Amino acid sequence: MTETILANATLVLPTETLRGQVRLRDGIVADIAGGAQVPGGAIDCGGDLVMPGLIELHTDNLERHLQPRPRAHWPHQAAIIAHDAELAAMGITTVFDALRVGSIISDPEANYGEYARELASEIMGLRAQGVLRISHFLHLRAEICSETLVDEMARFGPEDRVGIVSLMDHTPGERQFRDLSKLREYYAGRFAMTDEMFNTHVAQMTALRERLGARHERTAVAEARRYGATLASHDDTTAAQVATSAAHGVHFAEFPTTAEAARACRAHGILVMMGAPNLVRGGSHSGNVAASALADEGLLDILSSDYVPSSLLTGALMLGDQWGDLARGIATVTQAPARATGLADRGRLETGARADLIRVARIGAAAAVRGTWVQGRRV
């Protein structure tokens, strides 16, 4: 029997904070008690926050480790292990690794080749060996505007821990990049794309969406059901797009780009997830709706770190300050994502829950993770 006691802590419970202690035994939360006393053998947290481990539903962080520079590819196993360690250090104890399915294979220069099935097998192989520190699930980003979506999704099944399938439509002129001038700037900066190259790209992708988009959308929805995965939409912009998402059975919306779309999500009972970098930076880098504005309207349910792992904790603490309710802010990165994906065993600091916890010190406007425990084991 293994036991750890975190004492003299500010415990972030589901609806309140409490000065007290939490006892971890055999992978679960065995007991919670109030008071500042420090029993023998306990860790004295000195008033630091102790909260559930963070749950990340959508992160591009693994891609950054796989390709640290444009066209500079890194060995997969080393990249996965480094990604896993970084998330643990940022207080994330459960991650849904986002992998794109749907590739462009007719143009070798598109830098949009197939990789998801191989990488998923490598992630799950490292998990089976006990190499990884935190809990990993898969999030398949189903790229509607692609050539190979049907074949790629067929290679996955219920045994692959696919927890989320999101419907991605990156057709130029749609959703996140309705403003083609913004997309032109992005491609010019990242890929050194000339105007002529950009115009050709837009024409090709638009034609591809018209030819295969409807079939791909139907396939992604059906495959999500086959896997037993939660279905998500991505970058909904209009009420009409949200209505389509609702008809597909979407459970949460990733990064709606307008207040109109967020309000429509609320009307359809779809949870709204926003990017923590949007919140931390004070707005969207793409010119879309600010996460803080949706929070003010009560339209923000879940945060995702998206492309900055450290932003998840920072953003949740910022929401706690904005709402004047720390427990509510932390719930956007613990309880809410757990419920959205059916993980009933985690995301709450309460007796009987899985012992995934973090100890956090607030340092001015920043925060430092001083300890991460997964199933009661410090990682």
Query: Can you spell out the DSSP letters for 19-80?
Result: EEEEEEETTEEEEEEESS---TT-EE-TT-EEEEPEEEEEE-HHHHHH-SBTTB---HHHHH
Q: Rounded distance, CA 270 to CA 345, Å?
A: 22
Does residue 160 sit in helix, strand or coil? helix
- Judge if 1-52+346-379 and 54-345 fold alike in CATH terms: no
SS3 285: coil
Query: Both tokens of residue 31?
Result: 């007991």
CA pair distance 367, 364, nearest whole angstrom? 8
Please give the DSSP secondary-structure letter assigned to residue 346. S
| Domain 54-345 coded CATH 1.10.3720.10 | no
Choice between 259 and 201, residue whose per-residue pLDDT is larger: 259
Q: Distance (Å, rounded) from C-alpha 8 to C-alpha 262?
A: 40
CB atoms near residue 171 (< 10 Å): 19
Rg (CA), the chain: 21
pLDDT value for 314: 97
Residue among 323, 235, 346 nearest 284 (CA): 235
Name the residue with higher pLDDT: 207 or 272.
272
Give residue 189's pLDDT band: very low, low, confident or very high (50, 70, 90): low
Q: What is the average per-residue pLDDT within 1-17?
A: 94
pTM passes above 0.85: yes
- For residue 219, the SS3 value is helix
Predicted local confidence at residue 187, as pLDDT: 64
Band (pLDDT 50/70/90 cuts) for residue 182 is: low
CA neighbor of 122 nearest in space, from 162, 165, 90, 75: 75
**3-class SS at 97?**
strand
Q: For the domain bounded by 1-52+346-379, which CATH number is listed?
A: 2.30.40.10
Output the 3-class SS for 101-146: ECCCCCCHHHCCCCCHHHHHHHHHHHHHCCCCCCEEEEEEEEECCC
Q: What is the pLDDT of residue 264?
A: 98
**DSSP H or E stretch at residue 378:** strand 377-378
Q: Residue 181's CB: how many other CB atoms inside 10 A?
A: 8
pLDDT at 105: 82
Name the helix (H) or strand (E) containing 6.
strand 3-12
Is the per-residue pLDDT at 216 higher than 70? Answer: yes
Q: In the prediction, which pLDDT does 110 show?
A: 60
Query: 233, 253 in Cβ contact below 8 A?
Result: yes
* DSSP state letter for 158: G
Q: Mean pLDDT over residues 72-95, rounded? A: 97
Lowest mean pLDDT among 176-185, 218-227, 299-308, 368-377: 176-185
- pLDDT, tens only, 317-333: 999 999 999 999 999 99
Q: 37-53: buried (b, 16+ CB within 10 Å) or exposed (e) per residue?
A: ebeeebbbbeebbbbbb
Cα separation of 294 and 278, whole Å?
11
**Residue of higher predicted confidence among 188 and 264:** 264
Model confidence band, residue 208 (pLDDT cutoffs 50, 70, 90): confident
Q: What is the pLDDT of residue 169?
A: 86
Chain segment 100-143, per-residue pLDDT in tens? 999 988 776 566 789 999 999 999 999 999 999 999 999 999 99
**Domain regions of the chain by residue span:** 1-52+346-379, 54-345
pLDDT tens sequence across 40-77 = 999 999 999 999 999 999 999 999 999 998 789 999 99
Whether the per-residue pLDDT at 295 is higher than 80: the answer is: yes
Q: What is the pLDDT of residue 186?
A: 67
Q: How far is CA 164 from CA 58, 125, 250, 337, in A?
A: 9, 19, 10, 11
At 285 the pLDDT is 76
Both structure tokens of 40: 């023998």
What six digits make up the tokens of 361?
A: 């010190």
Residues 242-265: what's their mean pLDDT?
Answer: 97
The alpha helices in the chain, defined as continuous H runs, are: 61-66, 76-89, 116-128, 149-154, 180-191, 195-227, 239-248, 259-268, 276-281, 291-296, 311-323, 326-331, 335-340
